[in-house]
Amino acid sequence: MEKQQLLSEISQAATAGIVTQNEVLGAYEKGSSGVLPQQEDAKHLGLSGVMYYIGGAVIFLGISVLLFQNWDNFNTFTKIASTFGVAVAAYLVGILMEKYEEYRSVSQVFFLISALVSPVGLYVILDKLGLDVSTASVGVLVFLILTAIYLASFYLYRRTIFTLFSIIFGTILFHYVVGWIVGESLSSDNLVKVFEYRVLAIGLMYLCLGYYFKETSQKALTGVLYAFGSLGFLGAALALGGWQPNQNVFWELIYPLLVFGVIFLSIPLKSKSFLTFGSLFLIGYILKLTGEYFTEGLGWPLALVLSGLVIMVVGYYAVKINKKYLTTIS
């Protein structure tokens, strides 16, 4: 950016009241000292954020120990107050702190505590209302409520933690909805297949969400969604291929296309997760084929040798792709 253009933009910002004289001078002093404002904030938030979340984890641990040690001694009101009441209180404290910029990092910890305790609180309430909390229908009700609350919270406050728990609660809701629809009449083998397709769908949804968030304010979640999405999608697809003599020919034939597709997508998407999990599952697929079709006679040792060579090639090109295209990606 040219000097005159920069000065002109500062003048326009000052005229519009966006920046003050003290803010401009402060930024100049920090720049002249060699410390950028965002670097200073990142270090401060990094240290304080870790301490905040450690404190929040200790608080949640204390609540859990309290409930575990005294649950049988609590009456109904105390059980509800110590679970759902704590969740509501933590949420309200987070909302109050959210209004003050200096306390927003702390507010995230209270939102976290509320999100962890809320499911327990809702289950306790429904149990005291006489519902069978072990059924899938109750699970659907609990996580439908929580998903709706956290989606509404994100709409109001635009915080990443609300997006994260909306996804988590939505995933659990999807699990219960499928279980509710399927019921318990299926055989164990069919239930396993349903679970594999469920994980496949969740993995694909995570990949799509990660891509959608990439250019939004929620882009901090993209890496996490890519990692869990590729793990779930490729893992479920590999499991759906089955094992000889009950293998599924469709999934065994399509799997190389899926795994190579994920590896190649790592370049335009700048995703180390795609490259890492794609390479690992490609190696797993090679070993699976070796174990299925070359376990007898001299074919197996030869297949293992060839598999080892292929794995070395996969590793070489994975490292090469990482160095050439993804070294700047965190």
Q: What is the pLDDT of residues 84-125, one digit of tens each?
A: 999 999 999 999 988 887 777 788 888 988 999 999 999 999
Where do we find the tokens 């001078």?
25
Sites in the chain below the pLDDT cut of 70? 1-10, 12-53, 293-308, 310-311, 315-319, 322, 324-330
Backbone angles phi, psi at 106, to 5 degrees: -70, -35
- Predicted local confidence at residue 227, as pLDDT: 93
SS3 132: coil
- Predicted local confidence at residue 313, as pLDDT: 72
Q: How far apart are CA 247 and CA 239, in angstroms?
A: 9
- Predicted local confidence at residue 152, as pLDDT: 94
Q: Could you give the maximum distance between any two Cα atoms of the chain, in Å?
A: 83
Q: How far apart are CA 24 and CA 17, in angstroms?
A: 12
- Predicted local confidence at residue 330, as pLDDT: 41
Q: How far apart are CA 125 and CA 76, in angstroms?
A: 9
- Predicted local confidence at residue 33, as pLDDT: 46
- Predicted local confidence at residue 67, as pLDDT: 80
- Predicted local confidence at residue 92, as pLDDT: 93
- Predicted local confidence at residue 41, as pLDDT: 41
Long-range contacts of 169-174 (CB under 8 A, 24+ apart): 169/143, 170/143, 171/202, 172/139, 172/143, 173/140, 173/143, 173/144, 173/147, 174/198, 174/201, 174/202
Which residues, other chains included, contact 243 with Cβ-Cβ below 8 Å and sequence gap of 6+? 288, 292
- Predicted local confidence at residue 300, as pLDDT: 58
Q: What is the pTM (predicted TM-score) of this model?
A: 0.76
Show the DSSP H helices in 158-293 as ranges.
160-182, 188-213, 222-240, 249-265, 272-293
SS3 216: coil
- Predicted local confidence at residue 170, as pLDDT: 96
Q: How far apart are CA 110 and CA 327, in angstroms?
A: 36
